[in-house]
Structure formats: structure tokens, C-alpha cells
């Protein structure tokens, strides 16, 4: 099968990409198809997805970060239409339970903490009071955290009631239903789907590029650009192109997960993801409209599969809806994400445990970078080099943020947690921690996926506090700072009064009409 002929209305420059073949479906494959169809509209590029209905996808990723809503808009979908089609619910952040010791919890919100003054960040004033003995939680100054604790939700508005009513939100959804929705949407935009199984990929002896993919049904599929979405198998980038794997198992030893969906134990009143520390890892809870996604991510060196299944079963809030789904993985990434005329997206490119819901984010940013650096048929190595540089940094930044969770843990007497707390850290993370501990200085590197409020939530949640605060915060007396922070808490309370029970929002969402104030 040669590249599709182009409509006469699309005049292409010599050497322009004429065809893209996406190997693999699932969330990654159909996100790629929908995004490329939207962004390359009018260029005459033919997009084909080759997927096998005989091959199951991992399909357990159900939590996102706020950037996913940018993706919806980019491909022409509305937040609420996606949520209705996928059993979706709103997400204000992540609740961390027992990570700082049994009986503890703290929240990572999608929003800011407090207000700065005189170009001094808010957290420096909070630290000033902490050093004076006032230990009110940082979460008291976050609207997202307040709503999460109260089980309420509202949509952000253009004209908030006050400066502290600014926040963001993400969604939980059924990943399989999301992929189906994207498939239908992409095919309506002209994307071609072929149901077949890859047997072999052939490379050009001269250029080293992939020439064609051969299938079980005898097809030979050619394209100018190949997107590898074949999951952990990485049939194109890893196998055909021979790109090696960079293994991070020594830093992130969790290598297994077991997932079991369950019924709800009560009404929807937790508009957030939960992460509960367990003996050899952590358990996720993701509430959807008609079920709860549950899973236990663990290190097989410290826990058997049978023990993991038993632990998860014992901690389901409702009745199990399916048999346990056991998944094996390894933390790390391909040494190159773009090689020749092949780009890896999703699990074919790399994997980090879903502690901060970054799997779908990495698919999204991988596609955004690809379009930003979109090549011609020569696939200039300079473009690939920049893509690889930026994506490597992004993976490392997320890895370091995940490592902070383990480094800061206060669980004692459990081998995994003891080992992770004392493990050596990457240089960039060590530098971040040193500057924070010295004076509460927050460091932001290139391609940071998580910004200052996210790091603050971890530092405060694990009680990793600096020995001193910014001396510029001493412009105000303790009494003045106390009064200012009291007013901030009052403002957050006033903003939170406009929210309604999350179950009411969800009930209105599932009606035919969109929620009041939508879009």
C-alpha cells in the first residue's frame, strides 16, 4: 500500500510529509491520530492508524492533569462532552494518605497558595509564621484543597469573587471509552483505520528509515513518518530502529501493578484522586461516574503478586467488578524518542509510574513537540535531536518529582520505604532540595512539568521545611503577617461558599444539557 494520493486542492511543497502511519491504537494511538488530524488539517497529510483488535491495551490510566483540557480544545471537543462519553468526573488534585506516616494526609492541589506581597512569594510569609510557632497547614491557603476536603466543586470563572478564587481542574475518565471516542472523532476527520497485526518492519538500507510495515494479513504499509504507539513492546522504535532502553529501576523500583475496578461505596463526594501508601508501594483510587478505578503499584522485590492482590481486595470500598489485572513494567525511557522517521509516543517511548497522573500528559506533550518540530520527508536529525533533548529533560523532571515523594516518606520499619528514604538522589533534585532547605528557595528548571505550588505541597506535606525564610519577608511584623494570612483564609472561605456538592455537579453533568456556566 503506497502513500494515499493527495486531493488536488492540497498543493504540497517538494519533500513535504504526505503520509503518517500510527502503529497501535489505544489511548496513545488515537490521541496521536486526533491531534495530528486537527493540527495538520488542510496540509493534505494522510493519517492511518494500524491497530489490532486482537491485542489488548493496558487501559488502566484514568487520571489526568489540567493540561488535558487544552488537548480537548485543540482537537475540537468540549470538556463536558468528553466527560459524558467516558464516564468522567472532575479532579481537583491528589490526596496523599499515610505517606508521611500512618494516619497522615496532605493534598496536592491544582491551584495556588495564598498571595505574594512586595515581590516576596507567599510561602515565605507562611514560613515566617511557622518559624515563629504558628503551624497552620499550608493547605489552609488553597481553594482547591478546601473544596476537596469539603467534597465540593465549581467551575473556574473569568471574574472570580476574589484573587484567591483562582484554580484549575482536570478529569478522571475511562481510558478505553476515551480511546473509542477519539477513534470515532479522528475517523470523522478523515483518519483511516486498519485492523491488522504487525509482523515485521523493514528499514531502508541507505537511510536507515523505516520503509514499510508488513502485517499478518499480507499488507505492506508505507508512510513518510511512523508513530510508534505499540505500548511496552515498542515494535518500531525499540525493535525495528534498535533504540536502547534507559533503565531507572534502581531509582524507581516499583515494577508491578494490579488493578481491580469496583462499585462505589457511597455517593460521589471526592472530586480528586487518592494515593494511599502501602507496605511495598501505593494504592490508587480514581472515582468515575459508575465505578471506581483501584490499583496497587508495588515493588516485586518486596511483595508477591498474590499478596498485592489480597491487599488490594481487602481495601476496596465496594464490590469488585472484574478479576485482577496484573501488569508488569519498568521505569525508564528509550534513549531516543525520535529516530530517523520514527517517533515513539506513550509506553513505546517510556514509562513512569502513574503517581502524579503523567502518562497521558507525556502523550500529549510528545505530540505537541512533534507538531512544533514537524519535519519533511528527510527528517532532519537536528529536529529529532531537539525533540529528544526536550523530552529527555521532561522525563527526568517528572522522575525527580516522583522521587521526592519517596525521599520524603516517613514510613518506618518497611524495607521499601526505608531504602527509598535513604537512596541517593539525582544531582538536579539534590540541588533543588539544598536550596529549599537553606532558605525556602524554589528552583525551576527547563521542561518542568510541575511548578512551584506542586513542589510546595510536597515539601509541606512531608514537613521538609527550611531552616530560614527570606529576610525580605521581615518587612512586615509577625502580627501584620498573621492578620494578612487570616484575611486570606477568610477569602478562600468566601470563594468556597460558591461551590456545591460534587455529587450535584456530577448529577447535572450527566443530564442532556451542559452545566450552567459551561464554556
Q: Which residues are catalytic?
A: 91
What residues contact residue 513 under an 8 Å CB cut-off, 6+ apart? none
**Sign of torsion, CA 400 406 409 415?**
negative
Distance CA 431, CA 401 (A): 13
Q: What is the DSSP letter of 47?
A: E
Please, what sign has the CA dihedral across residues 18, 23, 25, 29? negative
Q: How many residues does the chain have?
A: 519
Q: CA triplet 369, 371, 372: central angle to 5 degrees?
A: 60
According to DSSP, the β-strands at 281-287 and 292-298 are antiparallel
Q: 257: burial class by Cβ within 10 Å (0-12, 13-18, 19+)?
A: buried
Largest CA distance in the chain: 78
| Contacts made by residues 436-439, CB under 8 angstroms, sequence distance 24+ | 436/464, 436/466, 437/464, 437/466, 437/467, 438/466, 438/467, 438/468, 439/466, 439/467, 439/468, 439/469, 439/470
Rounded distance between C-alpha atoms, residue 125 and residue 117, angstroms: 9
Neighbours of 303 (CB within 10 A): 20
Q: Where are the alpha helices (DSSP H) in 77-174?
A: 79-86, 122-131, 143-150
Cα distances from 430 to residues 156, 291, 397, in angstroms, run: 36, 40, 12
Amino acid at each position: 500500500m503506497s502513500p494515499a494520493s493527495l486531493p488536488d486542492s492540497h498543493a504540497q511543497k517538494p519533500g513535504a510529509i504526505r503520509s503518517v502511519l500510527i502503529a497501535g491504537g489505544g489511548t496513545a494511538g488515537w490521541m496521536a491520530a486526533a491531534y495530528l488530524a486537527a493540527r495538520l488539517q488542510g496540509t493534505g497529510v494522510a493519517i492511518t492508524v494500524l491497530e489490532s483488535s486482537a491485542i489488548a491495551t493496558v487501559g488502566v490510566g484514568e487520571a489526568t492533569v489540567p493540561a488535558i483540557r487544552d488537548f480537548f480544545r485543540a482537537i475540537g471537543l468540549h470538556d463536558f462532552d468528553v466527560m459524558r462519553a467516558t464516564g468522567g468526573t472532575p479532579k481537583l488534585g491528589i490526596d496523599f494518605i499515610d505517606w508521611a506516616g500512618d494516619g497522615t494526609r496532605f493534598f496536592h492541589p491544582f491551584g495556588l497558595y495564598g498571595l505574594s506581597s512586595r515581590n516576596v512569594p507567599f510561602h515565605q510569609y507562611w514560613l515566617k509564621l511557622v518559624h515563629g510557632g504558628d503551624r497552620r497547614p499550608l493547605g489552609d491557603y488553597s481553594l482547591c484543597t478546601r473544596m476537596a476536603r469539603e467534597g465540593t466543586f465549581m467551575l473556574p470563572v473569568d471574574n472570580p469573587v476574589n484573587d484567591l478564587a483562582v484554580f484549575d481542574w482536570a478529569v478522571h475518565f475511562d481510558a478505553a471509552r476515551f480511546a473509542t471516542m477519539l477513534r470515532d472523532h479522528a475517523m470523522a476527520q478523515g483518519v483511516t483505520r486498519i485492523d491488522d497485526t504487525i509482523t515485521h518492519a523493514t528499514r531502508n538500507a541507505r537511510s536507515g528509515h523505516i520503509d514499510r510495515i508488513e502485517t499478518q494479513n499480507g499488507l505492506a504499509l508505507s508512510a513518510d513518518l511512523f508513530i510508534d504507539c505499540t505500548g511496552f513492546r515498542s515494535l518500531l522504535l525499540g525493535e525495528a530502529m534498535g533504540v536502547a532502553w534507559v533503565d531507572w529501576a534502581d531509582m524507581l523500583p516499583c515494577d508491578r501493578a494490579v488493578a481491580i475496578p469496583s462499585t462505589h461505596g457511597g455517593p460521589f463526594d471526592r472530586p480528586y484522586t487518592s494515593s494511599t501508601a502501602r507496605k511495598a508501594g501505593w494504592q490508587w483510587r480514581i472515582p468515575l461516574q459508575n465505578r471506581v478505578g483501584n490499583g496497587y503499584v508495588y515493588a516485586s522485590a518486596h511483595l508477591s503478586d498474590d499478596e498485592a492482590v489480597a491487599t488490594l481486595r481487602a481495601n476496596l470500598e465496594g464490590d469488585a467488578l472484574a478479576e485482577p489485572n496484573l501488569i508488569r513494567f519498568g521505569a525508564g525511557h528509550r534513549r531516543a524518542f525520535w529516530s530517523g522517521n520514527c517517533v515513539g509516543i506513550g509506553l513505546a517511548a517510556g514509562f513512569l509510574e502513574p503517581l502524579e497522573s503523567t502518562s497521558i500528559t507525556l502523550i500529549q506533550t510528545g505530540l505537541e513537540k512533534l507538531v512544533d518540530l514537524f519535519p519533511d520527508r528527510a527528517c532532519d536529525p537536528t529536529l529529532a535531536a531537539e525533540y529528544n533533548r526536550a523530552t529527555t529533560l521532561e522525563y527526568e523532571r517528572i522522575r525527580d518529582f516522583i522521587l521526592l515523594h519517596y525521599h520524603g516518606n516517613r514510613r518506618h520499619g518497611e524495607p521499601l520505604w526505608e531504602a527509598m528514604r535513604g537512596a541517593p538522589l539525582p544531582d538536579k533534585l539534590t540541588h533543588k532540595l539544598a536550596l529549599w532547605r537553606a532558605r525556602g528557595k524554589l528552583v525551576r528548571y527547563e521542561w518542568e512539568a510541575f511548578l512551584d505550588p506542586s513542589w510546595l505541597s510536597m515539601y509541606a506535606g512531608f514537613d521538609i521545611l527550611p531552616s530560614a525564610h527570606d529576610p525580605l519577608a521581615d518587612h512586615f511584623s509577625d502580627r501584620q503577617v498573621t492578620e494578612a494570612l487570616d484575611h486570606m483564609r477568610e477569602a478562600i472561605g468566601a470563594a468556597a461558599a460558591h461551590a456545591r456538592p460534587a455529587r450535584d455537579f456530577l448529577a447535572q453533568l450527566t443530564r442532556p444539557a451542559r452545566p450552567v456556566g459551561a464554556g
